[in-house]
Amino acid sequence: MENQSNPLLNLEALPPFSAIRPEHVEPAIDRLLRNGRRRVDELLAQRQSFTWRNLVEPLEMLDDQINRTWAAVSHLNAVDNNEELRAGYNACLPKLSEYAADLGHNARLFRAYEEVYQAGGLDQAQRKLLENALRDFHLSGIDLPPEQKARFKEITQELSTLASEFEDNLLDSTHSWNKLIIDPAQLSGLPETAMDLLRQEAAQREQEGWLLTLEIPSYMPILTYADDRGLREELYRAYVTRASEQFPPGAQWDNSDRMERILALRHEMARLLGFGDHTELSLATKMAPTSEKVLEFLHDLARRSRPQAEREMAELKAFAREQGLEGSLEAWDVAYFSEKLRQHKHAVSQEELRPYFLERRVLRGLFGVIERLYGMQVTEVEGVDTWHPDVRFFEIRDDAGELRGQFYLDLFARRNKRGGAWMAECVNRMRTEDCGQLPVAFLVCNFSPPIGERPAQFTHTEVLTLFHEFGHGLHHLLTRIDYPAVAGINGVAWDAVELPSQLMENWCWEREALDLISGHWETGEAIPDDLFQRMRAAKNFQSGMQMVRQLEFALFDFRMHREYDPALGGRICEILEQVRQEVAVIRPPAFSRFAHGFSHIFAGGYASGYYSYKWAEVLSADAFSLFEERGSLDRETGLSFLHNILERGGSEDPMDLFVRFRGREPSIEPLLRHSGIASATA
Ligand code: ZN
C-alpha cells in the first residue's frame, strides 16, 4: 500500500479515525518497523561519539512514530472491535514484540546508551530516562548468551499473543450469552432506568421485550435488584464462568490452558533473567522494595480489616434471614441483600442519586474542580474526526492560556466495545529542537447510555469512575517532561501510577466539589443536605468486605506468581482457595471460574502487581489528607500536587516526588481512616 494512501502513516495531527480501515493496519506497522530498524542502524553507524542529541532524541522520535500509530490501532481495536480489525491487530502483536526484543538485545545500542549516560551533562529527566533504558536492557536479556536470548524473544512473543487471545475469549464469551425476557414480572425489583436500558438492548437487535446480557450495565442491575433469585443465579453462573469450561453456552472460549501457559512462560522468563520468580522480576521496576515487603503489606492490611469484614458479613446474613431468605446466603444473593441493607441502614440507593448526576452537569463540575485546584480550563472542540458520534473532544489550557493537551471522551457502553473504563495515550508530549507536540488522551468508560431522548444520568459510582480515569488523564496531559519515555504516566512505577487517579475520587465525596458536579436534572437543585449526609454515612458501608475482596485478588495474584513451580503447574484454583481461606468472607461456589476472566493479571499489566492498587491507595489517601488539612479545593495545595507530582511524570523516583508534596514518607493511617476501619495498633 502506498505511503500517502495509508492514514496510519505519518500521523502528524490527530488520527483520521473515519478513514482508518483494518487493511491499513499491518502494512503501516510493517513499514514503520522496517524504517525503525534501518534508522537504528544508521544512528549506530555514526562516526562521532554518541550524545543525547545525536542518539537518544532521534530514537525517542522514532519510537514516538510507532507509538502514535499503534495507539490509534489498539484504541480502535478496543472501542470499535470487529473481526478484520482484530485479525490485523493480532497479526501485528508478534511483530511489535519481536522489534522490541531485537532492540533490547542490541548490544551496540546498549553500549551507545551507556556512553551517553557516562558522559554526563544531563538533566534529571534525561538521566532517569537513560537509567530506565539501561535497566530495561538488562530486563530484556542483554546479558544472556545467544541461545537464551533467542528463547527470551520467543517467550515475549508467545506471551503477547496469549494475552490477546485471553482477552478475545473473554469478550467473545461475554457476547455469546444473552437472554430475552418477555414477561416484565420476571424482572420485578429492577429500577425503571435498568428496565428501559434492557428494553433498548432488545430493540437494537429488533427484538420485543427485555434483553439481558453479561455487560456490566445489564449484569449489575440484575444482581443488585432482581427479586427472582433463580434469575440472579443464572446470570451469576454465566458471568463468573466466562471463558472457562463451566460456561453454560460452551467451553469453546476456555482460557484454562492459556493461563497455565502464561504462568509457565512468565516463570521461565524470570529465571532466565536470574530472578527467583516472576514477582521479583515485576518488582524490579516498581516502588515496593521486595516481594516479602509486598506480602507483609497485604497480610497486615488483611489482619486489620478481616474482623470488620466478618462483622459486616454476619450483619448481612442476619438481615437476609429477616427478609425471608431461606437456606444459606449465596454469592448471587450478596449484592441483592447488600443493596437492601444499605437502603435499610442509610436510606440511600444508587438510583436516588442518579437524577442529580446529569452528564452535562457532571462534566462541567469536573472541569470546575480542575480549574479550582490547578487553574486549568477545559473547553470542548467541535468538528474533530472520531470513531463514533457519541465521542466528544476537549482541550485543556492553563492559567496563562497555554494549551497543555487534548482528550477524547467516549462515555457509553456499546456493542463491540471492551468493558471497563480506562485512560490511554493517543499522543505523548515531546519537545526537542526539531519538534514540539502536546499530549492527547483517550478517556473511555462504559456508562449506561442515554435512553431515548432523556439525557444520560450517572450513578455516583459512575461519577467516581469518571473522576478516577480523569486523574490518569491529568497525569498524562499536564506533564512538563519533554521526552515521552518519562513523560506523563510513562516510566512511572506501576504501584505509584494510581496515585493521581485514586486521589481524584476523593472529591466526589466532598460537599464543595459535589455542588459543582451535581444538580437535579429538572430543577437544578443541589443534593439536599439530608441526602448528602446519608450518602456520606453510606460511604463506608461494607468497607471491610470491599477491602478483603481487593486483598483476595492481590494475594491471589502475588502468591500464584511467587509460588509457581514448574513441577506442579499453576495450581490456580488451589492457591485461590488458600487465599480465600485466609481473607475472604464470601465463599463463591465451586463452579466459579473467576480467574478465567481476570484480565488484569492474565492479559493486562498487573501480573504480580495487583497489590499496586492498595499500595497506591495508601499514597492517595495520605496525599488527600493534606487537602483535608488545608481545605479540599485549596489552590496552593493543588498547585503543589500539580508541580511536584502531575507535571513530573516518571522523571524521578516516586518516593522522592511524594515526599516533596507531602513533606514526609507515606502513612497507612489515612487509608484506614477513610475506609472507616479502626487502625488496630496490635
Ligand atoms: Zn486506574
Taking only the tens place, the pLDDT of each residue in 435-456 is 889 999 999 999 988 888 888 9
Q: What's the CA-to-centroid distance between 422 and ligand 1, angstroms?
A: 7
Query: What is the per-residue pLDDT across 71-110, written as a single tens digit (0 to 9) for each?
Result: 999 999 999 989 999 999 999 998 998 899 899 989 999 9
Residues 343-394: tens digit of each pLDDT: 899 888 778 899 999 999 999 999 999 999 999 999 999 999 999 999 999 9
Tell me the average pLDDT of the chain.
Answer: 94
**What per-residue confidence (pLDDT) applies to 1?**
47
Q: What percentage of the chain has pLDDT greater than the value 90?
A: 88
Q: Report the CATH number of the 355-537+614-674 domain.
A: 1.10.1370.40
Two domains, one topology: 256-348+542-610 and 355-537+614-674: yes
Catalytic residue among 469, 510, 552, 647: 469
Q: What tens digit of pLDDT does each residue of 651-666 get?
A: 999 999 999 999 999 9
69 neighbors 32 (Cβ within 8 angstroms): yes
Planar angle of CA 122, 111, 272, nearest 5 degrees: 115
Residue 596 CA to ligand 1 center (angstroms) comes to 21
pLDDT score, position 670: 94
Question: How far apart (Å, rounded) are the C-alpha atoms in residues 439 and 366?
Answer: 20
The answer to whether 601 touches 328, Cβ cutoff 8 Å, is no
User: What would the 3-class secondary structure string for 466-488 be?
Assistant: HHHHHHHHHHHHCCCCCCHHHCC
Question: Which amino acid belongs to residue 421?
Answer: A
What per-residue confidence (pLDDT) applies to 682? 37
In this prediction, residues 617-641 reach a mean pLDDT of 97
Q: State the distance from the centre of ligand 1 to the C-alpha of 283, rounded, in angstroms.
A: 19
Tell me the pLDDT band of 3, cut-offs 50, 70 and 90: low
Ligand 1 centre to CA of 58 (Å) is: 31
How many residues belong to the chain? Answer: 682
The predicted pLDDT at position 10 comes to: 75
Q: Report which DSSP code applies to 404.
A: E
Domain segments of the chain as ranges: 2-171, 177-240, 256-348+542-610, 355-537+614-674
pLDDT bracket for residue 680 (50, 70, 90): very low
Q: 527470551: which residue's cell?
A: 152
Question: Smallest Cα–Cα separation from 98: which of 162, 26, 153?
Answer: 153
Distance 601 CA to ligand 1 centre (A): 14
Please say if 469 is a catalytic residue.
yes
Three-class secondary structure of residue 75 per DSSP: helix
Tell me, in angstroms, the distance from the centre of ligand 1 to residue 469's CA. Answer: 6
CA–centroid distance, 238 to ligand 1, in Å, is 27
Query: Structurally, what CATH architecture does the domain formed by 256-348+542-610 represent?
Result: Orthogonal Bundle (1.10)
Cβ proximity of 405 and 395 under 8 Å: yes
Q: Using DSSP, state whether 389 is helix, strand or coil.
A: coil
Query: In the numeric block, which cell numbers belong to residue 384?
Result: 474533530
Q: Name the pTM for this structure.
A: 0.86
Q: How far is the CA of 468 from the centre of ligand 1 (A)?
A: 6
Among 1.10.1370.40, 3.30.70.120, 3.30.230.10, 1.20.1440.120, name the CATH number for the domain at 2-171: 1.10.1370.40
